[in-house]
Each structure stands twice: as C-alpha cells, then as structure tokens.
Amino acid sequence: MDSDFWIHTVAVQPYLGPGPAGDIYGPSQDVLGLWIDGISVTTEAGGEQLAEGSTFYCDRSNASVFPPKTKVTYNGRTSIVDVAHDYDGATILDDVSHLEVILK
C-alpha cells in the first residue's frame, strides 16, 4: 500500500501481558497509517447483534507494535487489536505490502 494513503495517526499502547493488578501496556507511540471505520454483524446465541469494528493499515515495519490486546486510540476512541495480518506483497492476493490491523 502506497504511503500516500497514510493520512491518519493513531496512538498505540502495545500489550505486554498480564500483571498482578491487571493487563500491562507499553508506552504510547504514534503510528501513521490509514484508519477505516466499519461495522460487522455477529450472531450470538440470543440473536443477531451489530458490533462495530475498524481496520488500520500501516507499514509492515510496525508489525511488532500490534500484538493482540494492544490498545489503539484514534479520534478519542480506543479499540483493541484482535489480529494483525502482515502482507509482504509476494503473491497476487496481497500484491502490495502492508500491515492490516483488525480492531474490536
């Protein structure tokens, strides 16, 4: 993905693991990328429910900053990393290298 698309800055607090008083996060750092708001539909035992989710795209060099459970804040709203996909551009399916961060 061309860096011309990196128009948003998010604050990232990497998840470091559990601690005696709760989860531990690293210091906040800014990452430049592209934020896309989205909505996904999930179905639970009690019926259908809407769940908001977003995706953040950035350079692959940031992969180590986005382990699962990491806090990502954009426009005052904090989301949690579900998973990050590292696309290296090696196949036709991921022809442009980038990191795709799925948030919940």
Question: 28 or 85: whose pLDDT is higher?
Answer: 28
pTM: 0.80
The ranges assigned to domains in the chain are: 3-103
Q: Which pLDDT does position 53 carry in this prediction?
A: 83
- Whether the pLDDT of residue 93 is over 90: the answer is no
HEC readout, the chain = CCHHHCCEEEEEECEEEEECCEEEECCCEEEEEEEEEEEEEEEECCEEEEEEEEEEEECHHHHHHCCCCCEEEECCEEEEEEEEEEECCCCHHHCCCEEEEEEC
Query: Looking at residue 69, what is its pLDDT?
Result: 95
Higher pLDDT, 93 or 78: 78
Fold (topology level) of 3-103: Thrombin, subunit H (2.40.10)
Q: What is the per-residue pLDDT for 2?
A: 57
Q: Which amino acid is present at 75? A: N
| Residue 58 pLDDT > 90 | yes
